[in-house]
Structure 1
Amino acid sequence: MRILLWHVHGSWTTAFVRGRHDYVLPLVPGRGPDGRGRAATYDWPATAREVPWDRLRDEPLDLVVYQRPHELELAREWLGRDLPGVYVEHNTPIGDVPRTRHPLADRDDVPLVHVTYFNELFWDNGRAPTRVIEHGVPDPGHLYTGELRRAGVVVNEPVRRTRVAGTDLLPRFAAEVPLDLFGMQVDGLPYGTYEDLPQERMHAELARRRVYLHPYRWTSLGLALIEAMTLGLPVVALAATEAVEAVPPEAGVISTRVDVLADALRGFADDPERAAQAGKAARAAALARYGLDRFLHDWDHLLEEV
């Protein structure tokens, strides 16, 4: 199958393009948001290829995967024809959440795929046919060493997304355990910061930290959390959104109390053996629920239906 999709969410796309199809990614001058082409910091197979937006009409495409509302119009304009499609909703609703209606809520011709059951529950989906296909991640291997008595955090744009990402809480946690922040546009915060590293290098660096901190208040789940678990890191996370489903008790500590989380962070940092054991449980749980084979199988089933 030949599938058109935009490079919107790097980690999710990294899993999606590992399937058995051909994947076409639009490219615009300057690699702007509507045409980034292939990723620079992720390892994608040759079956994921970038095509200039003005040549898409010549591509023999079978299906479109939408991830933002305006992409439906972009596809119609750039392709000059209608194709079957599905819409992936990565995000939790924003605003007056109990009354937040999804942009596709008045349509029944495009399946709406949520990446978590939390998303499906909290969006008003209207008459859109919904499906949940939970995340999948390529297994990076059990890389955990925990050699550094530090906590790793992965947050993109931590300044702009302060309360959403929970970066306003980091000073409280940093008082207990030194933090290292990974991600895009992390400069300017008073922690050991790292630029947007290639995924393989980031995984290797993250695995040297004793514990993973997931401070997000309001996010669908956060693939970085699952990736940290597959690396073998124990987890300390806010009990918010889908994290309560993803992290079993033996894999770490989740709570809505910052003091409980701060104590847990220090506890893992001071007890390498306990941290390693919890990390093994985290890895097992992540592979069992978010394995790549299950993810690709679920997507193949839906794509064939569409």
Structure 2
Amino acid sequence: MPPPVIAGVDGSAESLAAAEWAARESVRRGRSLRLVHVWSWHPRQDGEPATAAQRLMARRALRQAGERIGRACPQVRFEEEQVEGPATAALVRAAAQADVLVLGSRGLSGFTGFLVGSVALGVVARAVRPVVLVPSAGKGAGVYLRAEPEEGGGRDVVLGLDLADPCDEVIEFAFEAARDRGSRLRAVHAWPPPAPFALGPGEIGLIEEPWRAAEWRDFMTAVLQPWCDKYPGVEVVETLIEGRAASPLIRAARAASLLVVGRRITQGPALARTGPVAHAVIHHAGCPVAVVPHE
């Protein structure tokens, strides 16, 4: 059986938005939907299991998420699951079983309920499958939620493309997201200004700036061409900017339905990290952010 779309829910506005987004995504992907609530986020020192109050809160959170899905996507059928924490470990385990894991996000303001900043960032840094962080309607979610899936192509899917390390998993996720939404794909690459003492003979940075930009654009087109051939129905817009990557991606996300960035998988929990670009867009982008792990 194909892996499901999984949404972590805790009853907060952010997690309810995540549940609705996940329901729509399950329809687009043709996957089943699973709602997961983790109880005993902060286990007591004496090891006491979840109390009746915790279980009541879990049932309430799952019921609220189900009601939200019923109003937004009445055709979607889903299953519910309660699992025991700690939160990061439980959600990382859930992600390993998922086609994509969807969590609620409040961006720079932090996270509510179990999704405190350290937990959400810990999940993103350790998950082996894509994780999507969805802001609540108060953060602009209403616009992109209304645009999907019925209105489709009104808002771009934005791909943060690292031409120094173009990764198939990240590019494919973005193309499939654009195809499933009937949206345009905007690929954004920010190329750093050359460091004169770090360049070798013949490197792009030695070329005058207009020619250097043309070299990057040709390289970008060559990287994307096989994917354009594979997904001929997806219109692609290429955007090249000199400078750091985070700022242009955050600007592009203002008019996007989804922002897709990559994260390199590192070995060992002590080395788990989101990377500077993913960290920045998670905190500042105004649309859902998909973080796709890759080797």
TM-score scaled to structure 2, two decimals?
Answer: 0.25
Which structure has more helix as a fraction of its residues? Answer: 2
TM-score using structure 1 length: 0.24
